[in-house]
Every structure is written in C-alpha cells, then in structure tokens.
Structure 1
Amino acid sequence: MERPRVLIVGGGFAGVECARALEHGLPAREAEITLVTPNNYQLYLPLLPHVAAGVLTPQSIAPSLRRILRRTRIVPGGVIGIDAASKVCVVRLITGETTDVHYDRLVLTPGSVTRSFDIPGLSEHARGMKTLAEAAYVRDHVISQLDIAAASSDAAERAARLQFVVVGGGYAGTETVAYLQRLTNAAAKRYPRLDPAQIKWHLIDIAPKLMPELGDRLGGKAMALLRRRGTDVSLGVSVAEVTADTVRFTDDRLLPCHTLIWTAGVAASPLIGTLGAETVRGRLAVASNLTVPGMPEVLACGDAAAVPDLTKEAGAVCPPTAQHAQRQGKHAARNIIAGLRNAPLTPYRHKDLGLVVDLGGTDAVSKPVGIELSSLPAQIVARGYHLMALRTGTARFRTTANWCINATAGDDFVRIGFLARQPATLRDFERTDVYLTPEDVHKRLAARQTG
C-alpha cells in the first residue's frame, strides 16, 4: 500500500522541528516525509547580528539539514502556490523551474519576511537582517563605508559614510546596532585617517519604548547602555524618505547617510496571502490544534500562523518567536501522527520561558522565567540558551569556538566582496515577488490535465 505523503513547507524553526519529530515518531513504512526549502541549512536567526559583526562565521548558525534530518526528502525550492482541493503544491526550484508536489498531509511553516511600508526609497535603499546572505552583505557594506571614508578627501562625503541608521527597536534592531557599533568602534583604531567621534549609529523606532516586552527596567538598561556607547536612540520617530545618500525622519531631520538597516518587524510569508483563507493580521488563522479551518489535512505553525495562545486571555495569539515556532513544529508532528493513526488531535499550549538580548561583550539583558538579569549573568543565560537551541553539536562547537576566538583575538575588518557591484534589496534577498494567485494555480493544474 502506498505510504501517506507528508509535505512540510519551509525549513525554519517550525518546519525542521516538525520533520525531526516525524522522523522520530513515525517508522519509515508509515509515511513519506518531504521538506521544501530553498536552503540546505536551518538558519538560527537570533545570532544573525553576530554574523554581521564577524563574531561568528555563517556556518556556525546554519547547521546543515543533512546533519539534522536522516530520511526526509529535501526539495530545494520554495512553494509559490497551493491548491488545497487537489492537494498539490507548486514548487519553484532553485533552478527557476516549477514542479508540482502532491501531498496527503500538509504542514505550512513558510515563516516570515521583513515587514516594510510604502516609504519612498525604502525598497531600493534599505538593507535587511533576515537572511544569512543579508547579514554577510551588511557586514561587507559597513566595512566598505569605513574604507571609502578613510580614502576620501571630501569632508562631507566622509561624514555621510560614517553615519549608520538602524530602524526597529525590537530584539533584532537592538542587537544589530549593538554588535555593529562595537565592530566600527574597534575598526576605528585601524583607520588612522578617521576620527572615531565621526562614526555615529542611530537607532530609531516609532514605539515609545525600546523592547517593551522586557519591561521598563530592562528596556531602560538596554537603552542606557547603547547611549553610553554613543548610539543616538530616537523613539516615537520613523523614516519618511530614503535616497542613496540621505535619510529623512518623520521629525523632519535630514541625515546624510549611505546605510539604512531595516529591522522594523516581520510579516507572514506572502504564500499565506495566496490561499484565500482567513487571516489574523496577515497570519493564517488556525485552530488550537494547528489545523486550518476548512482544510483538515492542512496544519500551520510558526511565524506565518496565528496560533491561539491558550495561556492568555481569549483571542490572544502566540508571538512569532523562535521559541514558539520550535515547539509548535514538534506539536504539529504529534498531531500529524495522531491524524494518520486516527487518534484525536491535541491543542498547542506553551508558556513563554522568557527573553534574552545579547548586546555584545559581557553586556546583555535577559528575563528567563520572569527573572530580570543584566550584564554578565544575563549574558551567560543568553548564550547558554542560544547554544541549547542550536540543533547540532557541530554548530554548538563552532559557535563556542568563534565566541572564544573573538574574545581573545578581537575583530577583523575584511570585506569578501559579496555582491559588490550589484545593489541588494529586500526583495532580492527574500524572494517576495514569485508567488502565484489561486487563479494561476488552477490554470496551471488545468493546463497539466488537458495537456
């Protein structure tokens, strides 16, 4: 008898955890497991600022899926359309070709993309911090600004090259500005023609507080630390316009600047918008057992799904964090197994274990299980959590070794020439313009049947 086909869309935290749990919970004879993902690694997103600053190598936070998964079939591409009635996903392979993949059970974990707004110039001139390639590009870009400034005899250009703006006062933005500022401050000692006082980092956010989830005390400590390092933190402010060499803020300040790093939140993968299903603030609405209403063979979890948070008041949904995505992926696997064995599905319930924010060196703020920590104790908790969350021993060893090397040998300021001659936009890195409409999917399948 043909084995049921379980198809997982997305190789992030939720998708990989689901595949791992299915491999452990289902004998090979019970199901065929397929994972569709454009990358052959699982990216550990919280440590991207470390890669951008050169503290960690890219391999440290991107363990190979071949090390994590043993018998899951990996399809190198991305799902760009779904026909739930026919149980078919349209996959765009990394070669650019498209193919149809059939399923009996579908787990949607396509993750999220950088949330952007209709701000003039933003899509052309902003850089993101959502993918491994973006982190590598940002590092090259920042170091190139120092090199250009050091070689320039134009005082105005030199000043503009040494202004850096990070938008987004959440964890990603705060850690990005903290790590990259440490990098440029250390680099200034190697550039005798640069005045370190001219190197200026700006962190802006429309919200009235920095990382409000941490509470006033820890959020205030993080902001005070950044300001002591020289970061200009502006709250209640956003970007009004971006050009190749300026950034205009909503308070009418005009800053000569060649670097805008955009970390102002995330939005569900555009794939969700192609389903024609109910959404909650852009995320796919699901039941507490992770099934999609009206599609009993489809489960969804992670950043792209609005999973009810049963530990809070009615109507609350789980935040799009790595912690929830990993646990939801495991729970989705349990419910897939239950469904295949005609057992009842169970609701997802998990209480958040806390938050960690690594600000570089011995500086951090953390709130594990409600306990507020700062400085070295918080850093120990933060890095211990990251090591536990990495999925292979090789990745843990590389990460620990890189941290130790950086602590003893210091930073380096080498550019690798990544996309040096080509502008890199959010759309280029995150592939947000490849998705099909439901009508496109139906036409494609009809053409296949008649052809």
Structure 2
Amino acid sequence: MRAGSAKVPRSGALLVSRSRIVIVGAGFAGYKAARTLSRTLRGEAEIVLVNPNDYFLYLPLLPEVSAGVLEPRRVTVSLPGTLRGVRLVLGEVDGVDLGERKITYVDPEGEAGELSYDRLVLTVGSVNKLLPIPGVAEHAHGFRGIPEALYLRDHITRQIEMAASSEDPVESDARCTFVVVGAGYTGTEVAAHGKLFTDALAKQHRRAGNGLRGDRLPRWMLLDIAPRVLPELDERLSRTAHRVLAKRGVEVRTGMSVKEATQDGVLLDDGEFIDTQSLIWCVGVRPDPLVQETGLRSEKGRLCVDEYLRVPGHPEVYSCGDAAAVPDLTHPGQYTPMTGQHAVRQGKTLARNVAASYGYGQAQPYKHSDLGFTVDLGGVQAAANPLHVPLSGPLANAVMRAYHLAALPGNRVRVAADWLLDAVLPRQGVQLGLVRSWSVPLESSSPELAHSPAGAVSSQRSDDSDGSDRDH
C-alpha cells in the first residue's frame, strides 16, 4: 500500500499500513539501518533486506581469516539470527525502476524476482578498484569478501608447501614471494598478517624435515604509489606501521607500483621484475556498479544525496555508506570518506530519517567527526589513535581488539576464543581447496560471491594437475 490509506498508530505517528521498506545490501550501512528500523518501527512497517548472502561480513577482521587466526564464520553474523522483524530475501539486485517503485533481483539459483517498495534504501557498498594495468585483472586477486579470503589462505599455504618440496631454487623463491599492491588499511594488514603466517608455515616445514632452503624466510613486498603507508591516516600511525613491517621483514616500497603482471611475476615501475605466483590487489574500492545503472546523479560513482541521506528529486529513496556521496558537514564542500565508521553511523541516521518520514521523530542531518582509527599489524602489534591519542604496540593491540569486540554485532565470544587459542597454539596450515582462483576474479561486481565462469571445469583440472593457481 502507498499513501492514501494511512492509519494512526498508538504512538500518534502517521504510518501507511504495512508500508514496505526495501534495503539493498547488508554491509555496515545496510545492516545498521535494518537493525535500527526494526527497533524503531517495531513491526509497523514491513522491512525487507535484499542481500546475496545470509550474513553480515565484519570486514576489518577479514585479514585474520586469510592468515588462519580466525575461522570464517567468526566474522560472519547471521542476518536472520540478529535482525528480528526483518525479512531476508537472498538475491543480487540488478535493476531499479524508480517510476514503478520496484527493484528486480536474481536469487542464488538464477531465478528472477521483483519487489515493490514505498521507501528504498540503497546501501550496496563497494567492489575492488581496478586500474588499467596490463595483466592485473587476469593474475591478481582482490580482498573484499569471504571467498577471496579463503582462497588467499589456501593459496598462501599451497605456495609454501610447494616451495618446500621443490628442488628448483628459482621456483622455490618465486613461490615464497608475495606482492601486495596498496598500502592502505587492507593492504597493510594483509601484509602484516601474511608475513607472520608464512614465517610460521616455513618453520613448521623445517621442523618436519622438508624445509625451505637454509634459514631464508618467505619474502613479502608492500607497494604503493603514495609516499608512505597508510597515506589517509595520521603520519604517526603511518610511521608506526612502517616500523613494525620493516622489523618483521616486509619490504615496503612507496612511490612504486606494478607496471605489468604476468603468469610468472610482476614488472615494477622501475623496471625490476619480481618472480612471484602471488599478486594481492588492495589498491582501494569503488562504488558498486548498480549506482551508475540507476541513472541517478552521481559523484565519482557514488550516488548523490543530501545531508539527510535522501536522493534529490526522489524523497522515497535513501542511500549511505560507500555507495553514497554524503556531504561532510564537518568539512564543507567535501564528501565523507568511504570507511566503516562513517557507514555505521550513516546507517543509523538514515534509519531514523526513514522512520521520521512516517512521523516517528524528526529527520536530522548526518554529521560526524571520526573518533580515531585502529590498524591491526598482527601478533601483539597494532597502531591506534583513539580520540586522536597515538598508541602503538600491545596497548594499541588491546584497544583495537576491544573496539572490534564492541563493534561486532555477534560472535564476540567465538572471536575472543579464537584469539586466545591462536596465542597459545601453533597456526593450522592446511588447505581446504574450497575456492579456486577462477571463483574469485578481480573484476567482479559481487566479490562476496564465489563465481563459476565458463571454462571452470578445465581450469580446475589444471589446478588439480599442477597445483598452480595461475589458471586464467
């Protein structure tokens, strides 16, 4: 039902009888919006959440999944289990009809469906950012979802195992070399955790008697065109991260990037060729392509909204998070950065404004100044500036873990238990083989899903026969 058949609830607010609110995407923004709306409206409206998966992914802890610290289910929070009063529809939205007020989607089994709406919330998030560098799309893998994290954990384990059994020193060195492009949050944390993980695996192989040549540890390189790691953060956090990485043995090369990627390695800007089987792409994110497909006005791929998170000209449509260009009222003329901290708070504000459109409370503009950031550097190391107080080492690590446990909407005990077990037990270095390289292409509008492209069968045979992940 739409406007014209309103009733007056006991609260006195004017609400259309069982009005339908459709939320697209269950990332930080979408999950928070759904949770806040369900608690505010308390069944007075139908809230429908459309998402490809039945879980909310807590992205900040994903590097710990790829390094074997956390099991994948620890960073995935059940949507049906935590969003009471919210109807979940599994599907990937592929169209928005603003005139008819409906969306179309494809469910996990390939069936098409559609949903009408009275209010539409677009929180579709972001995907891997691509650059026009030859070979990258074919030979690199991103880091935006569970499939990519599981693939990377298997891939890292397999490379160390094959390096340990190889009699060719050149091949062994190449398999023990890992190149991470992008020294922002994700790249820095992936390199930090990855180095600890591969060092532990190498030591296990040496103790087993089939170790790598000499005492040489696996080589990790972290590249970024920026002049320093974590260029978007305070310089003190950047210096702390650089110091920890360098001491651990990670080669940090700033002002440097990849010129070309091949099956045998990567060519750097300065002409040096690095033999490697592992190119990990963490250069940043771009808004989900669905934003452009709506035909609405956008800014660098992000949907333009006002300070109330409404789409101009379409008061029934709201958006926030990575997919939206939200005016930054603390820095006039700018947009809020694409961070989880902003997405969560925007989701809460958006939910309140949607409720206000029905007469529950009053709409308020989004305004938030960051409270500081944390960067997980693996082990007991971290860098943090809570309330802009710079911290490093074990104290920063304690602050970082306390923050994540507080921010997690579920699985807190399980995450804490995994951290405790990792502190006292050796890392498990086994590959499950559940995700193949062709399942996680870098160029994908849905990195949260494992793919099955044409030729997958022959690719898998190649994987199984020679143990290599370079099957593109």
TM-score (norm 1): 0.92
Distance 2:203 2:58 in 1: 31
For the residue of structure 2 that corresponds to 1:123, the secondary structure is helix
Amino acid at match of 1:36: V
Displacement of 1:218 in angstroms is 2.2
Corresponding residue of 1:409: 425
Corresponding residue of 1:419: 435
Displacement of 1:120 in angstroms is 1.1
Corresponding residue of 2:35: 20
Displacement of 1:16 in angstroms is 0.9
Task: Map 1:292-303 onto structure 2 (within 5 A).
Answer: 292-303=311-322
Corresponding residue of 2:166: 152
Distance 1:156 1:78 in 2: 44
Distance 1:332 1:34 in 2: 15
Corresponding residue of 1:360: 378
Change (3 A) 1:432 1:282: farther
Change (3 A) 1:130 1:277: same
Q: RMSD value over aligned CA atoms?
A: 1.6
Amino acid at match of 1:235: T
Give every structure 1 segment of 4 or more consecutive aligned residues whose post-TM-superposition deviation is greater than 3 Å. Answer: 420-424
Gaps of 5+ in 1: 434-451
CA contact (8 A) 1:309 1:318 kept: yes
Task: Map 1:253-268 onto structure 2 (within 5 A).
Answer: 253-268=272-287
Corresponding residue of 1:10: 25
Gaps of 5+ in 2: 6-16, 450-472
Distance 1:229 1:347 in 2: 45
Displacement of 1:3 in angstroms is 1.6
CA contact (8 A) 1:356 1:365 kept: yes
Given the alignment of the two structures, is residue 376 of structure 1 paired with residue 394 of structure 2, yes or no? yes
Given the alignment of the two structures, is residue 142 of structure 1 paired with residue 156 of structure 2, yes or no? yes
Distance 2:261 2:63 in 1: 23
Change (3 A) 1:138 1:22: same
For the residue of structure 1 that corresponds to 2:157, the secondary structure is helix
Distance 2:437 2:133 in 1: 25
For the residue of structure 1 that corresponds to 2:428, the secondary structure is coil
For the residue of structure 2 that corresponds to 1:401, the secondary structure is helix
Corresponding residue of 1:207: 226
CA contact (8 A) 1:159 1:198 kept: no
CA contact (8 A) 2:42 2:85 kept: no
Percent of aligned pairs with the same amino acid: 45
* Aligned partner of 1:120 among 130, 134, 138: 134
Amino acid at match of 1:158: S
TM-score (norm 2): 0.88
Corresponding residue of 1:70: 84
CA contact (8 A) 1:284 1:306 kept: yes
Distance 2:412 2:217 in 1: 37
Displacement of 1:344 in angstroms is 4.7
Distance 1:228 1:156 in 2: 25
Displacement of 1:417 in angstroms is 1.0
Displacement of 1:427 in angstroms is 3.5
Task: Map 1:169-248 onto structure 2 (within 5 A).
Answer: 169-192=183-206, 193-195=211-213, 196-197=215-216, 199-248=218-267
Distance 1:3 1:216 in 2: 51
CA contact (8 A) 1:77 1:91 kept: yes
Output one character per residue of 1:27-86: Cα deviation in whole Å (capped at 9) or x when no partner: 31x211000000111000000000000100111110111221112110101111111111
